[in-house]
A and B are shown apart, each in its own frame.
Chain A
């Protein structure tokens, strides 16, 4: 199935599902499952195809086109898997929502939007689909508990996306193209101009990932979003930020562009600065998570700390750490998705996600508690789980470059997560 037909079908299906849910709620819910499944399996075929170009539509004098690549395939796999698994919750959750038709429409739009971001050939297409993801997810959050959190979410993410827009047009003004390949080759020639663009572009990644200075929206938005959309928000949409960070640091070879700049422990100072931010957000995320009473806010803060891990992995230029970072993206997507979904189940039955009111749950809902337990262990990085593998790789990368401070910060956090986990268990017995 050609990529652009998939995107077009996605956009049309979001309209279809809107009218379908208007007609009958259950049928709309099932349609989302079917379509996200179809999307997941049709994307499987793009595993090793790289460089195939599909153009969607001519937008004025620019054209919107896609290009397949293996890192884009990897990210789109994670995203469509998360959407597919989460959409199983949709049919049961329809009657609880105030506006199910709009929910399904925006759900599908954000799914298609993320695909557009990953497979974008030029920065303009990436920005268009990035903004579609932003405003699609924006109108779902107020269907949950709070009316203020979508505004904080939009403010911070628009600061990020508009600085990216500024950078894109700055590049367009100097290189007269939006295309990522030509820009990455053209930028090598004048590195110090690229510093300015690098920091502006990575801003979009940082705001979406919820890194330290921009993390305030994450607990507010994930905590108060409708229960079935929080897993998509924290599992999926945070990874879009990761993807942009990847584009800026790895696809456009930031290491050899900044190779002659000031080196701190063998890493250019720009990347090091990003890693320090990642480290801080790990510590901040975990410390804030401890004192949370609402479970969803607790998981949201753990997302902040884990996206800190991801950022360190991606920004690190060492081969091992980079692999660890990418793997952690997958682990975190699955783990936080599982945690949020288990709490969605709990909220479906009991109506509340406050841990203080959930004492002794293990007897009544053993299965969801088991899933929650496994997810916690994997996130904490305990040996048998995959979380351990990715964290260990990141530690290898960090320690091999001699960045002991960051390694220590990451290790400290593992201890804190352990005691968080023990606190949770006490509650449940």
Chain B
């Protein structure tokens, strides 16, 4: 039973030590990432206090079923990303260790300002990781938007501190009813816009195209799975559980997130190369997941979160691997590449079909719950969601059909008409693709084994009073 603070302290210690012993930093990175991936299974629920001071005064780390699930997913994804991105580390080992600490910290923290500090840690290490592809202007746009976002977030929590006098999440949750409505609307809008930058919601996601579109085998999977899961989990925690917002503000945010979903999917329809299709699909999925969190459908949101994270892990690692081996990811030149890499093609196809939500795959179970939650609120949201997923289905099927069947439009698809490209050193990618594909198919038929701890996580996100009693009554 390890203390969850170790998930933050050990990677930091390894980071500080690794700048002194440059040669060993690779070993540090993989060792610590393995430690956190395994260690995150052995944490017990509860509120862990830093420095011995009771929550409203000190900072506490909260581990309930929700953060426990997110921790496991994030650490496993981090380790898989390292396996995929081994060739593109480019002296980023220390930055990755700090990212690992930041990611673990932001999921567990129970204090608003501490969340700001960890968000900033993740953001700065993301700028550095992204600039390893030397697309400096896109990274600069990301930096400007990220900093504006976190400043707005800070402005929001300071307004709440000004009125409620506390920074602790649990304390603020209990003090929310006394705060007047106009201050609440102002503070929540700023907090939402602050979190929306990292969660890729509409007005703030112009940076995503440049960063995800030019990603290499390390940053691609890292941003599209680890960062996406964390940013959605933070919005889930803050707006799902702590800051209960009244309905007309929810509808304002939901129009934003649904517009993100629809625009991103239609932009993906129009794009022609592999990575930008996956980029827009990630933005679209992020919009869908945040809509579900805001609507209160935590179970559907978490299933879609898990589904999107692992599907994107497979798809982005294959896409960036093809780009790094052939310097070109235009779909027409890649026609028929899966004929040469059968296992990768199979994993990619299963993840894509599961993301669309076709039966026999895990995504379908997510789609059912999404529709149930959407129908509970009103008639229009499910219509938008279905239109969006039709568009998503179309461009994924077009992608899959082209990548499986070489040959021009008119004639039979034959063996030699395929592409000249091959994917180099893709062994780990195909293993991961197959494992994730197998899990998706098995979970698609009988989703019990994967879903019941997602159910526990969703319930723990649902009721605020167990959260309050565990924090306030805590040591």
Contact = CB atoms under 8 A, between A and B. Distances in A.
A142 B376 contact: no
A59 B359 CA distance: 11
Given A135-B353, A151-B398, A159 B405 contact: no
A143 B411 CA distance: 10
B299 to A, nearest CB: 10
A129 interface: yes
B397 A60 contact: no
B405 A98 contact: yes
B121 interface: no
Q: What's the dominant secondary structure at chain B's contact region?
A: helix
Contacts of B445: 57, 59
From A62, A131, A146, A147, residue with most partner B Cβ within 10 Å:
A147
A151 B401 contact: yes
A54 to B, nearest CB: 16
B76 interface: no
Contact of A173 (B369, B375, B389): B375
Contact of B394 (A128, A147, A155): A155
Contact of A57 (B368, B400, B413, B446): B446
Contacts of B365: 59-60
A172 interface: yes
Contact of A98 (B368, B379, B410, B413): B413
A139 interface: yes
Interface stretch (A66-74, A79-87, A162-170, A284-292): A162-170
A148 interface: yes
Contacts of A127: 359
A162 B392 CA distance: 12
Nearest to A162: B386
Given A58-B446, A59-B446, A150 B368 contact: no
Contacts of A142: 401, 404-405, 413
A145 interface: yes
B394 A154 contact: yes
Nearest to A102: B404
Interface in A83-129: 98-99, 124, 127-129
A162 B412 CA distance: 31
A145 B414 CA distance: 10
Interface string A142-186: 111111101100110011001101100110110000000000000
A348 to B, nearest CB: 13
Contacts of A151: 394, 397-398, 401
B220 to A, nearest CB: 26
B412 A144 contact: yes
Nearest to A150: B401
Nearest to B395: A151
A115 B367 CA distance: 23
A166 B364 contact: no
Contact of A60 (B382, B405, B447): B447
A245 interface: no
A49 to B, nearest CB: 26
Contacts of B463: none
B372 A169 contact: yes
A173 B368 CA distance: 12
B256 interface: no
A99 B349 CA distance: 15
B55 to A, nearest CB: 36
Interface residues of A, number: 38
Given A59-B365, A60-B365, A158-B394, A166 B405 contact: no
A377 interface: no
A132 interface: yes
A208 B413 CA distance: 26
Contacts of A128: 359-360, 364
Contact of A166 (B353, B360, B382, B446): B382
A47 B364 CA distance: 33
Contacts of A165: 371, 386
B376 A173 contact: yes
A98 B412 contact: yes
Contacts of B379: 170
B337 to A, nearest CB: 14
B468 to A, nearest CB: 29
A139 B350 CA distance: 13
B275 interface: no
A274 interface: no
Contacts of A159: 390
Contact of B383 (A57, A131, A166): A166
A275 interface: no
B397 A138 contact: yes
Contacts of A134: 358
Contacts of A154: 393-394, 397
A147 B402 contact: yes
Contact of B410 (A57, A146, A170): A146
Contacts of B375: 169-170, 172-173
B272 to A, nearest CB: 15
Contacts of A60: 365, 368-369, 447-448, 451
A169 B397 contact: no
A270 to B, nearest CB: 20
B246 interface: no
A98 B414 contact: yes
Interface in A262-317: none
A245 to B, nearest CB: 21
A158 B390 contact: yes
B330 interface: no
Nearest to A62: B368
B331 to A, nearest CB: 11
A135 B398 CA distance: 13
Contacts of B394: 151, 154-155, 158
A62 B369 CA distance: 11
A146 B407 CA distance: 9
Contacts of A139: 400-401, 404
Contacts of B389: 162
A150 B402 CA distance: 10
Contacts of A147: 401-402, 405, 407, 409, 413
A147 B358 CA distance: 21
A178 to B, nearest CB: 10
Contacts of A150: 397, 401
Interface in A374-409: none
B328 interface: no
Contacts of A163: 386
A98 B342 CA distance: 13
Interface string B198-232: 00000000000000000000000000000000000
Nearest to A127: B359
A98 B412 CA distance: 9
Contacts of A172: 372, 375
Interface string B410-442: 111111000000000000000000000000000
A154 B412 CA distance: 20
A129 B414 CA distance: 31
Nearest to B370: A169
A138 B397 CA distance: 9
Contacts of A148: 409
A143 B405 CA distance: 7
Contact of A131 (B358, B371, B382, B447): B358
A369 B65 CA distance: 69
B180 to A, nearest CB: 36
B380 to A, nearest CB: 11
Contacts of A59: 365, 445-447
Given A57-B445, A132-B359, 13 more contacts: A60-B368, A98-B415, A99-B404, A131-B358, A132-B358, A134-B358, A147-B402, A150-B397, A155-B394, A158-B390, A158-B394, A159-B390, A173-B376
Interface of A: 57-60, 62, 98-99, 124, 127-129, 131-132, 134-135, 138-139, 142-148, 150-151, 154-155, 158-159, 162-163, 165-166, 169-170, 172-173
Going nearest first, the 3 A-B pairs with the smallest beta carbon separation are A128-B359, A173-B375, A142-B405
